[in-house]
Amino acid sequence: MTAFFQRCRDPHLLWPLALAPFLALLFEATPLDRTLIALYYDASRHVFPLRDDLLLQTVMHSGMKLLVIGIAFAVLGAFILTYLLPHWGLHRRRLLWVVAGMAGSSLLVSLLKRGSTQHCPWDLAEYGGYAPFHSLFGFLAEGIAAGHCFPGGHASGGFALMAIYFAWRDMHGRAAGLSLAAAVIAGLAMGWSQMMRGAHFMSHNLWSAWVVWTYLAVQSAAFPPGACRPLPSQQSR
């Protein structure tokens, strides 16, 4: 337990805690969400013209989702192969950690969505839907069903790839950094494509990134992806 709390001093966990108030203020006190979503809303027809766009549906939604799932299964397959290829054994713990990180962070976002009252843009009355808008910290209007649209689930798939960075950042810093950049780009691209369809606000996607990163940082503190190293106090004994 002491080791866990000492690892909690890792900036990777402290950064999101410090960032959370700024992120909340950014979207609660500014019209940024509405400004960005307005780029893809046709006010004259009261629709999101790209909602059923074939490219966004098949490539950016279904295709990217399958790609992320494929990567997760590839990592799982590599983990299984460590029992057949002894020289891969060094990475066994890290590979399993990535699978657990990707699955756990995605599941957490899914559970948060299930309990969320916020609606997707296309369900809001101001964008041709039925539900009144309410902020993240506001209350759902009486008689209106919960929207279950926060945080962004699709974007979380791309952001879940940040598990690769956490797993190897202490061993292969440069490659891990590149994987982090790729994961952020993937998450933002997947989230933005949903914004274009009217499925999510930008805040939904950035909070999704926050949830995934925080989950992975906590998992890293509780269960380090690399071999556990003794604490300085233990090394001196």
Please state, in angstroms and rounded to a whole number, the distance separating the CA atoms of residues 219 and 224. Answer: 7
CB atoms within 10 A of CB 63: 12
Q: Exposed (0-12), middle (13-18) or buried (19+): which is 217, by Cβ within 10 Å? A: buried
Q: Give the chain's domain count.
A: 1
pLDDT at 7: 63
Judge whether 159 and 184 are in contact, CB under 8 Å.
yes
Q: Does residue 105 lie within any of the structural domains?
A: yes
131: phi then psi, degrees, rounded to nearest 5 = -95, 140
Does residue 196 fall inside a structural domain?
Answer: yes
**Can you give the pLDDT at residue 226?**
86
Residue 198 and residue 207 in contact, taking contact as beta carbons nearer than 8 Å:
no
In a domain, 62, yes or no: yes
Q: How far apart are CA 209 and CA 159, in angstroms?
A: 6
pLDDT of residue 230: 41
User: Within a domain: residue 15?
Assistant: no
pLDDT of 231 reads: 39
- pTM summary value: 0.91
Structure tokens at 43: 């006010």
Q: Which two tokens stand for residue 113?
A: 């969505």
Give a yes or no: residue 102 inside a domain.
yes
Residue at 154 is within a domain: yes
What number of residues does the chain have? 237
Q: Is residue 30 in a domain?
A: no
- Which range marks the domain in which residue 209 is found? 48-85+92-132+148-226
| One pLDDT digit (tens) per residue for the chain, 237 residues | 555 556 666 889 999 999 999 999 999 999 999 999 999 999 999 999 999 999 999 999 999 999 999 999 999 999 999 999 988 999 999 999 999 999 999 999 999 999 999 999 999 999 999 999 998 888 898 999 999 999 999 999 999 999 999 999 998 989 999 999 999 999 999 999 999 999 999 999 999 999 999 999 999 999 999 865 443 444 433
Q: For 118-170, what is the HEC assignment?
A: CCCHHHEHHHCCCECCCCCCCCCCCCCCCCCCCCCHHHHHHHCCHHHHHHHCC
Quick check: is 79 in a domain?
A: yes
